[in-house]
Amino acid sequence: MKLRLKRRLFGTYGVLFLVFVYAPIVMIVAFSFNSNPINMMVWSGFTFDWYWTIFGYPTQLNEQTLYVESTDQLLAAVMNSLIVAASTTTISTVLGTMTALALFRYRFRAQRFYQGLLYMPMVMPDIVLGIALLVFFVSIGMSLGLYSIIIGHCTFLISYVFVVVSARLAGMDNALEEASADLGASEWVTFRRVTLPHIAPGVVGGALLAFIISMDDLVITYFIAGVDSTTLPLFIYGMLRRGVKPQINAIATLMLLFTFIIASLGLYLRRRG
């Protein structure tokens, strides 16, 4: 009796929790298929039109409801985001992994201190990091653009990769690398044949995490983007300032889908590793 009540209470709590987390997301996906151009809270039928408009295809919607004036601008923003995310992921994965290896494999002075420094960018407020980077770039006379965004993203994404790879290294028996050396392998061969296969799931996980974070970073990018380097989040933010229009829902849904694909890929690779 009492137990059943308890179970029911926990069940209800669980459902409420899921609603709390997922309701907004479910709503935005649903609205992206709503054909009502005036009030998106009122369902008036299913349509793919909002998706067609963002890619510049002709639809039956009248001109006033259209909102993305230039599909080229949108595609340019997507392109910028992909360039930034791909470059940042590559750089921060290589550097973050090397940093993790250095901190786990060697002993040196002030090791703890360096480790602390590596965690810092993750807890630092984005806005502070954004302002600091802006001031820095301006003071060294660097023009803002894709390069400044890539450098800015790397400063904190290296930390994310470092943390994920470190977790993997912490679970690794030191004797594995010693066994490899003992059997005659050079350091490079040991790294390639023993260490890398062991940390690979961490490296891939860190890379995907870096990619996703870089793709949707708004605050830091806002400060250090130049005129011609609008990324997708900046573009969406710009659209929102002129009112919430249904196309936003479609763009958000596509981003969500993209993120899901990346995350599933990560899970799949992790399970195989």
Partner 1 sequence: MPDTGLPGSGSPVAEVLDAVKRFSAPEGGTVTALDEVSLEVSAGEFVTLLGPSGCGKTTLLRCISGFEDLDAGEVRIDGTPMTGVPAQHRPVNTVFQTYALFPHLRVEANVAYGLEVTGVPRRERTVRVAQALEQVGLQGLERRKPDQLSGGQRQRVALARAIINRPKLLLLDEPLSALDRNLRHSMQLELKTLQHELGICFLFVTHDQEEALTMSDRIVVLNHGRIEQIGSPEQLYHEPATSFVAEFIGDGALFTGTIEGDPDPALVTDDGLRLAIRDGVPAGRRMTMLLRPEQLDGAPAAPDSAFGILEATLEQSVFYGATRQLVCRLGNGAAITVTPSPGADGDRLYRAQLGDALRLAYRRAEPHLIEEARDGG
* Tokens 């009122």 -> residue: 42
d(C-alpha 40, C-alpha 68), whole Å: 17
Interacting stretch for partner 1, rule CB under 8 A, among 15-23, 71-79, 176-184, 219-227?
176-184
Angle 118-123-127 from CA coordinates, rounded to 5°: 115
Contact status: 170 vs partner 1 (CB under 8 A): no
The residue among 16 and 189 lying less far from partner 1, judged by its C-beta, is 189
Contact status: 194 vs partner 1 (CB under 8 A): yes
- Classify 227 as helix, strand or coil: coil
Angle 234-238-242 from CA coordinates, rounded to 5°: 165
Contact status: 169 vs partner 1 (CB under 8 A): no
Q: What is the DSSP letter of 203?
A: H
Q: Which one among 82, 124, 126, 198 touches partner 1, defined by CB under 8 A?
A: 198
The residue among 122 and 176 lying less far from partner 1, judged by its C-beta, is 176
**Shortest Å, Cβ 262 to partner 1:** 25
Contact status: 5 vs partner 1 (CB under 8 A): no
The residue among 71 and 186 lying less far from partner 1, judged by its C-beta, is 186
Instruction: Tell me the CA end-to-end span of the chain in Å, nearest whole number.
Output: 46
CB 59 within 8 A of CB 127: no
Contact status: 197 vs partner 1 (CB under 8 A): yes
Q: Which one among 15, 16, 102, 176 touches partner 1, defined by CB under 8 A?
A: 176
Angle 13-15-16 from CA coordinates, rounded to 5°: 65
Contact footprint for partner 1 (CB under 8 A): 173, 175-176, 178-186, 189, 193-194, 197-198
